[in-house]
Amino acid sequence: MSDQSSHPNRNLDPKVVAGFGDEWRRFSNREVDSDELISMFEAYASIFPWEELPPDPVGFDAGCGSGRWAMFFADRVGHLHCVDASDDALAVARETLGDREDVTFHHATLEEMPIASKSCDFGYSLGVLHHIPDTESALAACVDRLRPGAPFLVYLYYGLDGVGPLRRFLFRVVTVARGIVSRLPRRARVVAADLIALFCYLPLARTAAVVEYLGHDPSQLPLFQYRDRSFYVMRNDALDRFGTQLEKRFNRLEVEELLAGAGLERIQFSEGPPWWVAVGRRARL
């Protein structure tokens, strides 16, 4: 397992990077049941075109965090580059992935990742690009590393297009709460996120589970997608959601325009949660 390191300072928010480094030290996800992790991974990767990859493909994880998704990709491909701006996150990813010769770690922003242009057979960035100051530049850098025709999988936070006034009101409340919690000292931020998970995520998720058990559609309830998730995952996601100052949201059209503007074509969306998960292929020029 090789290790390449750099210390770029462009297109990142240092507080956001430090916050995620702390988050992944706290929530390595190694404690999560393997079936639950697989279920979460499949929700992201359900539309990934594995059949389009060549034998022993080489690709990259743009913003690998704890490496929880990288371990699923690494088992299916020839070589995987794990890139993250946080050295603390990379330390957790190294522990997650173990001593593998088919994984290379890069401490770098996405623009500075030391991967040759047009060299990769695939790439993905799950839950990262909406936390970067210049999302368009970071995405363009990812697409630059892909060979023509290679797929790129992305997950971006969804905007509130098509939701009712109650959901919009709740989102405004959450946004205000995030603004407060994300600026707290580290320990207080973690405690606040845990309390949100306990008193908001858990009861709403379990209510959705009961509604589904009774034969009704739970999808209109807030946080229904957590109905089968463990409390550990809820705590992790509450810290992720409320502990980060920089967050962007996109509607479906904006995601499509963002991907197309970066040079991706044949864009497809996953119709189920989480939203938005999409895949595109680098245009063949």
Determine the Cα angle at 224 with ends 218 and 230, to 5°: 130
pLDDT at position 265 over 50: yes
Lowest mean pLDDT among 109-118, 163-172, 255-264: 163-172
d(CA 15, CA 262): 27
Tell me the pLDDT of the chain averaged across its residues: 93
- What are the start-end ranges of the E strands in 63-216? 79-84, 103-107, 122-126, 151-155
Positive or negative, the Cα torsion across 241, 224, 194, 107?
negative
Residue indicated by tokens 């059949």: 51
Residue indicated by tokens 């630059």: 144
What pairing do the DSSP bridges indicate for beta strands 2-5 and 103-107? parallel
Please report the pLDDT score of residue 176 as a whole number: 93
Determine the Cα angle at 32 with ends 28 and 35, to 5°: 135
pLDDT at position 3 over 60: no
Pick one of 3.40.50.150, 3.40.50.300, 3.40.190.170, 3.30.1230.10 as the CATH number of 2-159+249-282.
3.40.50.150
Tokens, residue 105: 């770690």
Give the other-Cβ count within 10 Å of 216's Cβ: 12
User: For 176-233, what is each residue's pLDDT tens digit?
Assistant: 999 999 999 999 999 999 999 999 999 999 999 999 999 999 988 889 999 999 999 9
Residue indicated by tokens 């909406």: 130
Lowest mean pLDDT among 38-42, 75-79, 162-166: 162-166
In this prediction, residues 28-57 reach a mean pLDDT of 95
Count CA within 13 A, CB hemisphere, residue 80: 23
pLDDT at position 165 over 50: yes
pLDDT at position 8 over 60: no
pLDDT at position 175 over 50: yes
**Domain segments of the chain as ranges:** 2-159+249-282, 165-242
User: For 84-134, what is each residue's pLDDT tens digit?
Assistant: 999 999 999 999 998 889 999 999 999 999 999 999 999 999 999 999 999
Positive or negative, the Cα torsion across 237, 242, 247, 249?
positive
CB crowding 108-138: b at 16 or more within 10 Å, else e: bbbbbbebeeeebbbbbbbbbbbbbeebebb
What pairing do the DSSP bridges indicate for beta strands 151-155 and 277-282? antiparallel
pLDDT at position 62 over 60: yes
